[in-house]
Structure 1
Amino acid sequence: MKRYFITGLLIWIPLAITIWVLAWILGTLDQTMLLVPWQWRPAQLFGFDVPGLGVILTVLIILVSGIVGHNIIGQRLLRYWEGLLSRIPVVKSIYNGVKQVSDTLFSSSGEAFRKALLVQYPRQGSWTIAFLTGQPGGDVADHLPDHVSVYVPTTPNPTSGFFLMLPRSEVIELDMTVDEALKYIVSMGVVPPPRKTKPHAAAVPALDN
């Protein structure tokens, strides 16, 4: 009975968590319907809510924003909007910081979160998985000329972690995708990535500058 019960848990727990996460995402995105005038909302037109319309509306808003932002008029409007936000004391700091991070993360030419690494943390001889985020900048680069910037996520919640700057020679590039590394971290090592047949990558002199 114990074995059957555990087997049943292994079947239902991943499904239940998946449904819960999807329901939370849909519920959050459906809040976008608050932007629609009250008389045009499904509850007013049809007498009941239609789940998922907020997701469609969110996708449309993002696509339209991207299309507008790619033309000359849209770019001018965007610069005017950013200039307006930069005049607001507290908003300026938050917006500029978030924008720099998002531009770096979503840049097709950037290297942030493109490579999984093996680093020694929190002490020598203790290894963990980290992600390459770039290289030290500003005055830090003058003091640490041959270092890389890495993000060490916590387990099982990878959204929190630690930012470290380590020597290239002490960082090993792993032959696994970022998705595989995240699964390994979230599962606390229970779900290892598939083993590759080719030899392990050498230490980080192999990382791109």
Structure 2
Amino acid sequence: MSETPKISGMTRLRNYFLTGFIVCAPLAITAYIAWSFIGWVDSWVKPYIPYRYSPDAYLPFPVPGFGLIVALVLITLIGFLTANIVGRAVVGFGERLLGRMPLVRGIYGSLKQIFQTVFAEKGNMFRQVGMVEYPRKDVWSLVFVAGEKETEIGQKLDRPSDPLIAVFMPCTPNPTTGFLMYVRKSEIVMLDMTIEDAAKLIVSAGLVAPEVKKPILGADGQPIEIGNPPAGRLPQPALSKRTASSRPNK
């Protein structure tokens, strides 16, 4: 019989400390970020709230988050008013006024387009995760694949059989910064992982990898290979040549 190796008291204490650290660190960082965000919003909103309407005037301690609640209510109210004819007319007048300011109109137009793309036009956001050979051959980088759109770049470098696709290559550990590149569709290897899983992989510098999905089995019980997307379609996994060739011709 093999004897179970004994664990010293210091080793147990170290393991307990690491276990507690793994549990407490994400909670503490999340609470710190949330508390800092609430304090930042309160510092912007509370000075504009009349003192008699603030709970700080009636309580012996400040109420955190009251400014955030007021900001959420005001934003929702503005969105409700903007949805009618009068609100759209006021917003249109304000945009025309900003459009006459040389420096402000460029900043406002860019920010408005970004926010509309991220929050309103969800169909135009990143669709899938892929990989491209960068910065050299046999070295692969994760990219977020956008949908195909008719652009001047695609017209100048036209190749209908293998169109260009806009991809965003995020940096580690901050996925909000990176590089915008246009890559041939045949050179993109599509992955099954979600955008959220890819973001976790990038933020953790490869330490938090998503689980490998089980292969899809065909009618013959053999796994179906996933390859690059066919040219002329939206970015999506395609069946292998073996499966595609086994389909009956119409």
Which TM-score band (shorter chain)?
0.7 to 0.9
- Residue 55 (structure 1) aligns with: 68
- Residue 75 (structure 1) aligns with: 88
Aligned-partner SS, 2:227? coil
User: Do the aligned residues in 1 keep the contact of 2:147 with 2:165 (CA within 8 Å)?
Assistant: yes
Q: What TM-score, normalized by structure 2, do the two folds share?
A: 0.75
User: Do the aligned residues in 1 keep the contact of 2:55 with 2:63 (CA within 8 Å)?
Assistant: yes
Question: Is the aligned partner of 1:147 residue 2:164?
Answer: yes
- Residue 208 (structure 1) aligns with: 234
User: Do the aligned residues in 2 keep the contact of 1:153 with 1:160 (CA within 8 Å)?
Assistant: yes
Distance 2:75 2:42 in 1: 14
**2:28 aligned to which of 3, 12, 16:** 16
Question: Is the aligned partner of 1:184 residue 2:201?
Answer: yes
Aligned residue identity for 1:30: D
User: Do the aligned residues in 1 keep the contact of 2:147 with 2:234 (CA within 8 Å)?
Assistant: no
Higher Cα radius of gyration: 2
Stretch moving more, 90-99 or 110-119 = 110-119
Q: 1:33 to 1:132 in 2, by over 3 A?
A: farther
User: Quick one: percent identity of the two aligned structures?
Assistant: 35
User: Do the aligned residues in 1 keep the contact of 2:148 with 2:234 (CA within 8 Å)?
Assistant: no
Aligned residue identity for 2:182: M
Distance 2:176 2:34 in 1: 18
Shift of 1:156: 0.9
Stretch moving more, 109-118 or 166-175 = 109-118
What does 1:1-209 align with in structure 2 at a 5 Å threshold? 1=10, 2-31=14-43, 32-108=45-121, 110-135=123-148, 138-145=151-158, 146-197=163-214, 198=216, 201-205=226-230, 208=234
User: Do the aligned residues in 2 keep the contact of 1:136 with 1:144 (CA within 8 Å)?
Assistant: no
Stretch moving more, 134-143 or 59-68 = 134-143
Report the aligned-residue RMSD: 2.2
Aligned-partner SS, 1:49? coil
Deviant stretches of 4+, over 6 Å: none
Distance 1:134 1:100 in 2: 17
Aligned-partner SS, 1:152? strand
Shift of 1:157: 1.1
Aligned-partner SS, 2:146? strand
Aligned-partner SS, 1:205? coil
Aligned residue identity for 2:130: L
Q: 1:88 to 1:200 in 2, by over 3 A?
A: farther
